[in-house]
Amino acid sequence: MKDLTKTVPIASDHGGFPMKQFLIQKLHDSGWEVIDYGTESEESVDYPDFIHPLSKDINSGKFPFGIILCGSGNGAQMTANKYPNVRAALCWNTEQAALTRMHNDANIISLPGRFVDFEEAWSMVKAFLQTPFEGGRHQQRVDKISKTF
C-alpha cells in the first residue's frame, strides 16, 4: 500500500523533461515515491497531454501535491488551473515556493524548466512540499479565488 502523503506525481513536456528527470532522482533519494506522468524524452510534445492527467488526480484528491514543468512553466500552470480544486503556482525561487504554500495553499508547483538552475528547482520543490498553509486570513482569501463577479 502506497503512503500517498509521501507520494508525489510529476509531469512535464519536452521543455521540462531534463529538470523532471533530475527532480525524480532527488525525490527518490529523499525517500519520496514519485509517479511519473511523462513525457519520456525531449521529443516535442503538447504540454496539456501530460499536465491534464496529473491535474485531474490533484483535483480529485488522489494526491495532495503535484509538480509540473514546461519550458516556461506558464502553459503547464494555465492547464492545471482549469480544474476547480487545483491551485497551481508558477515559481521562480525558493521563497516564492514557500510563500505560495503559506499564503495560497497551492497544491501544484509549476516550474520553468528552461529558466532556472536545477538545484534551485530542487530547493523550490523541497520548500513547496515541506511548508504548511497558514490559514486564517489567507483561508478567507483562498476561498474567494473561485468566486466570479
Task: Using CB under 6 A, pick the residue from 75, 87, 100, 108 that binds ligand RB5.
Answer: 75
Handedness of CA 101, 110, 124, 40 (dihedral sign): positive
β-bridge partners, 108: 66, 88
Is-catalytic flag, 70? yes
Give the HSE-up count for residue 117: Cα atoms under 13 Å, Cβ half-sphere. 5
Q: Which of 29-37, 72-80, 89-97, 132-140 is the region at the interface with ligand RB5 (rule: CB under 6 A)?
A: 72-80
In the bound state with ligand RB5, the residue whose beta carbon lies nearer, of 66 and 71, is 71
Q: Is 103 a catalytic residue?
A: yes
Q: Does 47 bind ligand RB5 (CB under 6 A)?
A: yes
C-alpha dist (Å) from residue 54 to 31, 64, 88:
21, 11, 12
Per-position b or e across 53-78, b if 16+ CB within 10 A of its CB:
ebbebbbeeebebbbbbbbbbebbbb
Using the rule CB under 6 A, is 15 a contact of ligand RB5? Answer: yes
Judged by CB under 6 A, the residue of 74, 85, 130, 139 near ligand RB5 is: 74
Establish if 66 lies at the interface with ligand RB5 (CB under 6 A).
Answer: no
Which single residue brings its beta carbon nearest to ligand RB5?
75
Cell numbers of 60, please?
A: 480529485
59 binds ligand RB5, rule: CB under 6 A = no
Contact residues for ligand RB5 (CB under 6 A)?
Answer: 13, 15, 47, 70-72, 74-75
